[in-house]
Structure 1
Amino acid sequence: MDIGMGETQVRVGVESFSDFAHVKLTMRNSTNKTNLEKKVETLSRDNAPWTNTGDALRTLLSTMFKEEHGSRPNVKHVAILLTDGNSQDKEATLHAADACHDANIKVFAIAIGDYIDHREVKAIASNPKAKYYFKTKNFDTLNEILDNLIGRSCKDEKPECPEHPIDLVFILDDSNTIWDKLFQKQLNFVNNFIDLMNVGMGVNQVRVGVETFSEFAHAKVTMGNSIDKASLKKRIRAISRENAPWTNTGDALRKLLSTMFKEEHGSRPNVKRVAILLTDGNSQNKEATLQAADACHDANIKVFAVAIGDNIDYTEVKAIASDPKARFYFQIPDFDALDKISNSLIHRTCKEVKPPLNCQGNPVDIVFVLDGSNSIEDPHFEQELNFTSNFIEEFDIGLGDNQVRVGVEIFSNYTQMVTLRRKKQP
């Protein structure tokens, strides 16, 4: 890296932590690379018995990234944390990590060894976790991730849907089947999602609302609160629970129409409207729920529906989702799996407003060749069709000179040309 105090150069600071955090080098020491390397080589240890990771993160805010210590206000702020142990106060550590994320400090977190709470270290890392979280077997393997870490530190990630406005509402299940810990996972999921969106009140930005539902639906955050990402995430973390015994999914869907997507609450009339519903239970009135879902579909609200766990009517949740179901319906085993579908949900949400691909004006003819033999069970064949449909949706399909044309054939004992419907073999 080009180390120095120039406007376009990289400045470096170092802190260590044990029972407390200790500032070893501030960014004012970044006069040149040679002097900085010498200072790093002579750093002394504190070697106390505790692992106060929270204090280390708080010191980033209180000291390391302050102008009086050589940091710059309009420069990307990056922290790289290395640890092989669990913090002595996990709650305080995660609270400090949230504060760093809200301050737009990009935190790379490296978990070293096996005797460590990997979930805690992953929570310290910024989003997306796939970019900012690392784990290594031991300290000897740190150099194996060095090039990757340097590359990711230098690269700026761009928010999803950067020039495409969306009005987005999250609908969270707050019934008493949801433990406090699981409800918190929903809030974390929403904030992680927001981290990757261009949130704000600008014409081309994303506005976000949040409602919860149990016995009734409750508007917790309206789109008028999307002033900036940090304040919005703070509001979401502070959402309180109703925790009533019912699952009134129908009222949650009606609330989209009556409140959440109204102009007086910050929604915009000519912007794509998307809702993401999370639930682990059956609605108390299925007929009313499906009627409300139909009303949302008729109002051109695109509804992603996520069914969580085993004790749920999957057909009901799938009916709530917009068409095509393969795109708007998700089914996951538990709340921990929310992180696994996050990137897919973000991509599909943005796809609602992005123009379809036309391969940069180069015409392409694509043929899908699908295995239809009897070794493929019906559900797996359905997945082949869903995969094909999802692929096609990405492209500008048509018979124009610069459009993409698609054909499908299925083979078993002989080949058939089809229109995405399976033909039974004799």
Structure 2
Amino acid sequence: LAADSKAKLCGNIADIVFVIDSSSSIWEPYFKQQLQFVQQMVNTFDVSQKKTRIGAINFSNRVVREFHLKTHDSKERVLSAISEVEYTAGDSTNTNEALMVLRTEYFTERSGDRSDVPNIAILLTDGESTLMADTVNEANLNKETGLSMFAVGIGHNVIQEELTLIASAPKADFMYILENVTELQTEAFTQLISHKACK
């Protein structure tokens, strides 16, 4: 996926992990569109081990550790890895487990996290988690470390209350509900999230 020539590249350094819902409530073509959005987002950052590092988690009834912050050292390799993320179509949405893995395995020194660099997570989901209380608890544990948590809900099954509790404050900057996955892919939305993450 080529970088959009109109996109402004974020020069700030960050450690960013995308947390991607692939439960069966998401139709597979829509899941692929989620991945395209992630690629669009990656294209707005200066990706390398010295600049912005990217990781990815894929979850449904189980958590798939796609790649860690230290795994790929270039934008091209990150984009290629994202294109290979598989749709798992699990019958539950274990967001709590994904957020636990985010905190205990991804944002750690051994996985490539840097203590002097901002940590950012971008959660993409289409509905209510299986265990909402556990999900909110894990989100809070992540945020207590100083992590900035974006929560993006897609479609009509999203529970606004849950997303509000997951997202960092101010909610207007970190929580978004979109009507459909097509809205997710617009350049305007990509640039909006990139701008917020680049602050």
TM-score by length of 2: 0.94
Residue 192 of structure 2 is matched in structure 1 by 344
Q: How is 1:251-330 mapped onto 2 (pairs within 5 angstroms)?
A: 251-330=97-176
On the 8 A contact 1:274/1:349 being kept in 2, the answer is yes
Residue 410 of structure 1 is matched in structure 2 by none
Residue 4 of structure 2 is matched in structure 1 by 127
Task: Give runs of ≥4 in structure 1 deviating > 4 Å.
Answer: none
Separation (CA, whole Å) in 2 of partners of 1:241 and 1:339 = 18
Q: Please report how far the alpha carbon of residue 339 of structure 1 lies from its aligned counterpart in structure 2 after TM superposition.
A: 2.4
Q: Secondary structure at the match of 1:225?
A: coil
Separation (CA, whole Å) in 1 of partners of 2:112 and 2:133 = 30
Aligned-pair RMSD on alpha carbons? 1.4
Residue 9 of structure 2 is matched in structure 1 by 159
Unpaired runs of at least 5, structure 1: 1-97, 102-125, 132-156, 352-426
Q: Please report how far the alpha carbon of residue 313 of structure 1 lies from its aligned counterpart in structure 2 after TM superposition.
A: 1.0
Seen in structure 2, the aligned counterparts of structure 1 residues 226 and 158 have a Cα distance that, compared at 3 Å, is farther
1:242 is the counterpart of 2:88: yes
Unpaired runs of at least 5, structure 2: none
Q: Which residue identity lines up with residue 209 of structure 1 in the other structure?
A: G
Q: Secondary structure at the match of 1:247?
A: coil
Which protein is bigger by CA-based radius of gyration? 1
Q: Which residue identity lines up with residue 127 of structure 1 in the other structure?
A: D
On the 8 A contact 2:167/2:175 being kept in 1, the answer is yes
Q: Please report how far the alpha carbon of residue 279 of structure 1 lies from its aligned counterpart in structure 2 after TM superposition.
A: 0.5
Q: Secondary structure at the match of 1:196?
A: coil
Residue 69 of structure 2 is matched in structure 1 by 223
Separation (CA, whole Å) in 1 of partners of 2:154 and 2:88 = 20
Q: Please report how far the alpha carbon of residue 242 of structure 1 lies from its aligned counterpart in structure 2 after TM superposition.
A: 2.2
Q: Secondary structure at the match of 2:47?
A: coil
- How many pairs are equivalent? 197
Q: Which residue identity lines up with residue 198 of structure 2 in the other structure?
A: C
Q: Please report how far the alpha carbon of residue 213 of structure 1 lies from its aligned counterpart in structure 2 after TM superposition.
A: 1.0
Residue 87 of structure 1 is matched in structure 2 by none
1:232 is the counterpart of 2:81: no
Q: Secondary structure at the match of 2:185?
A: helix
Q: Please report how far the alpha carbon of residue 158 of structure 1 lies from its aligned counterpart in structure 2 after TM superposition.
A: 5.7
Q: Secondary structure at the match of 1:224?
A: coil
Q: Please report how far the alpha carbon of residue 240 of structure 1 lies from its aligned counterpart in structure 2 after TM superposition.
A: 1.8
Q: How is 1:15-414 mapped onto 2 (pairs within 5 angstroms)?
A: 98=1, 101=2, 126-127=3-4, 131=6, 159-160=9-10, 162=11, 164-202=12-50, 205-340=51-186, 341-351=189-199
Residue 3 of structure 1 is matched in structure 2 by none
Q: Which residue identity lines up with residue 186 of structure 1 in the other structure?
A: Q
Separation (CA, whole Å) in 1 of partners of 2:140 and 2:8 = 35
Q: Which residue identity lines up with residue 29 of structure 2 in the other structure?
A: K
Q: Which residue identity lines up with residue 201 of structure 1 in the other structure?
A: Q
Separation (CA, whole Å) in 1 of partners of 2:124 and 2:56 = 11
Q: Which residue identity lines up with residue 197 of structure 1 in the other structure?
A: F
Q: Which residue identity lines up with residue 185 of structure 1 in the other structure?
A: Q
Q: Please report how far the alpha carbon of residue 226 of structure 1 lies from its aligned counterpart in structure 2 after TM superposition.
A: 3.0
Q: Please report how far the alpha carbon of residue 225 of structure 1 lies from its aligned counterpart in structure 2 after TM superposition.
A: 2.3
Q: Which residue identity lines up with residue 320 of structure 1 in the other structure?
A: I
Seen in structure 2, the aligned counterparts of structure 1 residues 281 and 158 have a Cα distance that, compared at 3 Å, is closer
Separation (CA, whole Å) in 1 of partners of 2:41 and 2:143 = 23
